[in-house]
Structure 1
Amino acid sequence: MPLEAPLRHATGAHWGRFIRTIVEVVTDEGIVGLGELGGGGESAEAAVRGLLPYLKGHDPLQLEQLRWKIMNPTASLYNNRLQLHAAIEMACLDAAGRKLGIRACDLLGGAVRERVPFASYIFYRFADAGTGRGGETSPDQIVAHARQLVAEHGFTTHKLKGGVFPPDHDVEVMRALAAAFPDDRLRLDPNAAWSVEEAIRVGQAIEGLKNDYFEDPTWGLEGMRRLRQFVRIPTATNTVVVNFEQLAANIRLEAIDVVLLDTTFWGGLRQAHKAGLVLETFQYGASVHSSGELGIQLASMLHLGAALPNLGFAADAHYHHLTDDVIKGGKMRYVDGAIAVPAGPGLGVELDRDKLMQYAEYYREVGGYAYDRDPTRPDWYAVLPEQRWAAARSAR
């Protein structure tokens, strides 16, 4: 799916598009459930189809059996099936909801909200000649981009994807956003690009801003635990707490305050919801993570957000960076920075097969991409955490 402009991040760039795989589960009654996972091509398709012998004849409502059939830890020791399970479970929840006439969030216990707020999710971007968008690097350019997003979508929380330039540049941008939007909330995520000491310095430099949290400034539970001793901003992660063993370790260590829950990384919508309830029990914060989703996974995120009692922060979404979607009716709309939870049964979205075929053909034309490489610097690669910044890295 094409993006408005290439998105830059600490380890490279999303070079103009996201690659996704759509999964369908078809029941013996002809009900079709939809799922989605990241990545694509023959390998992804083969991995999904390879699970059919395990699952043919499976009752879509038997979701706990499904989890053990696919994610049995001994069976998947050498081939992690978390995201495959996530897409298939998503489709089973969709099919079951359609059969029963209820929403996916109702299968989790019901909704406590009908609208999920989102952050603006601001990236440094390369310019795109086709769309005329992008090219933001300076504080003034980022603020102008944020103003455009607020005008279009109504966001009141702003998340900067940092780590592209030297840390002091991110500090300047954060201060510029705070000055431009004094009533709004902020968050900074450099994708764990900094050493603990550098992260402490940056965290202390932005402590006076209206921060929701400081997301993954350094790597690892121990690194985040050390950071938390010196920075008076709640810490957050979507990288080092992505399963239940890590969640238990995090609670014992008191390392990270807020966990961003992803409906694919955690192995499914039910697993992400279960993790949210564990966080609620121990009085830790929860939010919803974005992994470059189209409308099907976005619907799963909305149902997760609807059912989480402790959703204390605006969710993330790359969604406003997409040029289109593969669901009927086109892209979902933000209203005052939030998206309504779909009202229909299951996930509440329908597949636009013409759009699916259009973008499948586009994939065949342009192919995939190396997620963590920057095509403008073909010989460069990231070493994390980075403590020194090369001239090529800091060039604006």
Structure 2
Amino acid sequence: MMIRSVDIYILDIPTVRPHQLAMHTITAQSIVVARITNEAGQEGWSEVATIGGASYGEGTVEAIKANIDQYITPHIIGKELADFSKIMFEVSKVVRGNNFAKAVVEEALIDLVAKSKNVPAYELLGGKIHDSLPLAWTLASGDTGKDIEEAKEFLRQKRHKIFKLKIGKGDPFKNVDHVLKIIAAVGDKARVTVDVNQAWDETTANYCIEKLQAGGVSMVEQPLPTWNYEGMARLTERFMVPIMADEAANSVQDVFQITKHRYGNCIALKPCKHGGLLETKKVAAIAEGAGFGLYGGTMIESSLGTAACAAVYATISEFEFGTEIFGPLLFKDRITTDEIQFENFEIIIPDGPGFGMEIDLDKVKHYARDYSYSLSLK
């Protein structure tokens, strides 16, 4: 069955509260949604998200759409759908980088192939190991009292017992004090991690991580800029607390170098930054082979993108630091008729055909920006 058409949409969906990172505060999340249709009219859908326009990286939603429309779509129209792995290999030869764009195309292909076979997408990725995975939540109000209250309420609801704090914005020393007060308040009922989003220099990192380690933080994510590999290695050697590579851990080659030279000792997986679900499996294998712990990361995807992440994470043997695919809980609305299920501190892996999500096309049209582009098989 050949690929007939590819449609790419940019959507902006509001969040239930501001979500603060070092480089940006999200009040409406921008996502790219792909629809790939075969000759029989069956559709595969997928999603990737980005953060803060160009403040996070070069893969803005506008760039993702433009590069798919102009450079990727012409290479897949008319191709045999079942050859999705070969298709993406061929795309990699003619399109450099653009991992977010490749990811959303590949995931739509996988969703469509799985639906055509009436099986969950994870069956095409090696088979499911996990029925559910531990789910972290980001405490991001910036107010210590509110964050403690929220953490205690989610513990009571059995929704989360892993909490992350974004501490790359503002006074680092006040942020550390904020984290330590939260750790003291939740005690041994929860794990607390921090994400610096590259915001510290090495001097600041040395001081702050020493305090965080003594206070009981369980992991420090990307404390230094992505270029400072040697600094990450020095922090990893000095401290017992795990140092996680996130923004630096993109391609298979990046992760190989990180593991080889110990530029950290754990890796945050994100299918969009690796270039898709197949590449995510490769990255995870390299990390596992080097003895690195894994974390199932998020770019704050909605229910569709979260289901795609869950499909591949379900096939990976162990997540030492849990997962963070809480995106649907942060959105005010969703573009699927199905909901992601969360219970007993975990996310439940969807079991329906493809990614297990049915699209609400009216919602896609409601949140989509005014323009779209389609290239079809003649």
The answer on whether the counterparts of 2:49 and 2:61 sit within 8 Å (CA) in structure 1 is no
Offset, 1:59: 2.1
1:293 aligns with 2:271: no
Listed one character per residue, the Cα deviations across residues 93-128 of structure 1 (whole Å, up to 9, x for unaligned) are 1111111222111111111110022101122xxxxx
Offset, 1:49: 2.7
Residue 248 of structure 1: which of 249, 253, 256 is its match? 256
Q: How does 1:93-112 map to 2 (within 5 A)?
A: 93-112=110-129
The structure whose residues are more often strand, as a share, is: 2
Letter in structure 2 aligned against 1:277: A
- Structure 2 unmatched runs, 5+: 1-12, 51-59, 371-378
Listed one character per residue, the Cα deviations across residues 263-295 of structure 1 (whole Å, up to 9, x for unaligned) are 111000111112111211221111111112111
**Identity across aligned pairs (percent)?**
20
The structure whose residues are more often helix, as a share, is: 2
SS of match in other structure, 1:314:
coil
> Could you say if the C-alpha distance between residues 230 and 42 of structure 1 is closer, same or farther in structure 2, counting changes exceeding 3 Å?
closer
Write the distance in 2 (CA, Å) between the matches of 1:48 and 1:195: 36
Write the distance in 1 (CA, Å) between the matches of 2:158 and 2:29: 21
1:47 aligns with 2:67: yes
Offset, 1:340: 0.9
Write the distance in 1 (CA, Å) between the matches of 2:202 and 2:152: 32
State the superposition RMSD in angstroms. Answer: 2.0
The answer on whether the counterparts of 1:186 and 1:209 sit within 8 Å (CA) in structure 2 is no
SS of match in other structure, 2:35:
strand
> Could you say if the C-alpha distance between residues 254 and 211 of structure 1 is closer, same or farther in structure 2, counting changes exceeding 3 Å?
same
Write the distance in 1 (CA, Å) between the matches of 2:33 and 2:280: 20
Letter in structure 2 aligned against 1:10: A
> Could you say if the C-alpha distance between residues 194 and 45 of structure 1 is closer, same or farther in structure 2, counting changes exceeding 3 Å?
closer
Listed one character per residue, the Cα deviations across residues 6-60 of structure 1 (whole Å, up to 9, x for unaligned) are 222212322x100112101111122211111235876644432323221112222
Using the TM superposition, name which of 148-157 and 176-185 deviates more: 148-157
1:13 aligns with 2:33: no
Listed one character per residue, the Cα deviations across residues 334-388 of structure 1 (whole Å, up to 9, x for unaligned) are 212211111111111110112212222xx55xxxxxxxxxxxxxxxxxxxxxxxx
Q: How does 1:22-41 map to 2 (within 5 A)?
A: 22-38=33-49
Residue 70 of structure 1: which of 69, 88, 91 is its match? 91
Offset, 1:76: 2.7
Offset, 1:152: 5.1
Residue 234 of structure 2: which of 226, 229, 250 is its match? 226
Write the distance in 2 (CA, Å) between the matches of 1:245 and 1:65: 20
Write the distance in 2 (CA, Å) between the matches of 1:148 and 1:60: 46
1:187 aligns with 2:193: yes
TM-score normalized with structure 1 length = 0.82
Residue 356 of structure 2: which of 348, 354, 357 is its match? 348
Write the distance in 2 (CA, Å) between the matches of 1:205 and 1:45: 43
Write the distance in 2 (CA, Å) between the matches of 1:64 and 1:162: 39
Letter in structure 1 aligned against 2:109: C
Letter in structure 2 aligned against 1:38: A
Write the distance in 1 (CA, Å) between the matches of 2:125 and 2:147: 39
SS of match in other structure, 1:142:
helix
Write the distance in 2 (CA, Å) between the matches of 1:353 and 1:171: 44
> Could you say if the C-alpha distance between residues 137 and 269 of structure 1 is closer, same or farther in structure 2, counting changes exceeding 3 Å?
same
Write the distance in 1 (CA, Å) between the matches of 2:280 and 2:218: 21
The answer on whether the counterparts of 1:20 and 1:293 sit within 8 Å (CA) in structure 2 is yes
Write the distance in 1 (CA, Å) between the matches of 2:218 and 2:201: 21
TM-score normalized with structure 2 length = 0.86
Write the distance in 2 (CA, Å) between the matches of 1:144 and 1:269: 36
